[in-house]
Structures are given as structure tokens and as C-alpha cells.
Homo-oligomer: A and B are copies of this chain.
């Protein structure tokens, strides 16, 4: 059985025995997504927790005016899940879509809980993922407030260049809270310097 990337990722987060690791990995199953496939669609209850081994995904939803808004980008080598729908078993308002061809390993809600129940260290892993995601989200919120469009662009450029390599302009623009027109202009100005 392969699942190398998954095992490495878990091991990097918390030190557990090889045995436990393979017990955990056993419950994940391989998944692939073609470009533009959906991992989660709004209206569904999210039932999969995914480790993204390769590729690039994004989450999006719609604001009150019906405009699509990108809410998150997921690079490879991290877990992908919509916390609220997955853990509270509520209908998701977000979509998660493959931006490029992707592959990874997923586990269902039921099985994940079973593992959380039986393996206390792994419970810690689950909590750590949740807290980490939350924390990243907070930092992003902060970066949005009290920064100009150009500053938001620059920060993202510095911290997440891969987003610009993978995603479309209009998706990045809505992620940054500006129009694609503005982002285009800002990018141009910025490249002059």
C-alpha cells in the first residue's frame, strides 16, 4: 500500500508509531479529481475529509448579490474539508472544486470519528487541523481589513505565489475582495516596479 504522502504528513504533525500510522492510513481511500471536478457542492452535507496529495483546489460561494466569491485556495500537501458542514452535519454553503487535476486520500465522517475515538493521538491531529485552518482563516481576515487592494495583492504574492500560478484572475480577485479589473491593473503597476 502506498499512501506515502499521507503518512508523511500525519507523521510531521504528531509523532506516532509506524503501526498506528498504517492503522490510520488504512481507512483512507485513494481519490482522484479531474480539473473542474467538485469535491463538495453547496447544498450537500460534506462527508469526506481529504488529504490533497497533489493538485490545487479552491472553495467558493456566492455573496448576497449573487457574485461568486472564492473563499479559500488549497495547495497540495494539506487537508481539505469544510469544517462546518463536515463536523456539524449541516448543508454546505460552499463549493470545493479542483482547479487542476488532483489526487489524494479521503476518509468518511463516520470512519474519522471512529479513529478519533479509538486513537487519542489522532484526535489531537484532528483538532490541530481544525485549529490550524481556523487560525489561517483569521490571519486572512486580518490581512483583508485595513489594507489597500494593492497591499492585499502584494501580501498574497509574497505568501502564496502558487495561487497565481494555478488560479484564474477573477478567482484570485474575489478572494482578495476586489474586481478582476482592479487586480489586472494592480498587477500591471506592480510588475513595473
Residues of A within 8 A of B (CB): 61, 63-65, 67, 69, 71, 83-84, 87-88, 117, 120, 123, 127-128, 130-135, 137-138, 140-142, 144-147, 151, 174, 177
Contact = CB atoms under 8 A, between A and B. Distances in A.
B87 A142 contact: no
A158 B71 CA distance: 24
A141 B87 CA distance: 20
A63 B147 contact: yes
Contacts of A69: 142, 145-146
Nearest to A130: B130
A131 B177 contact: no
Nearest to A120: B117
Contacts of A138: 71, 84, 137
A59 to B, nearest CB: 10
A83 B120 contact: no
B88 A177 contact: no
Contact of A144 (B61, B132, B177): B177
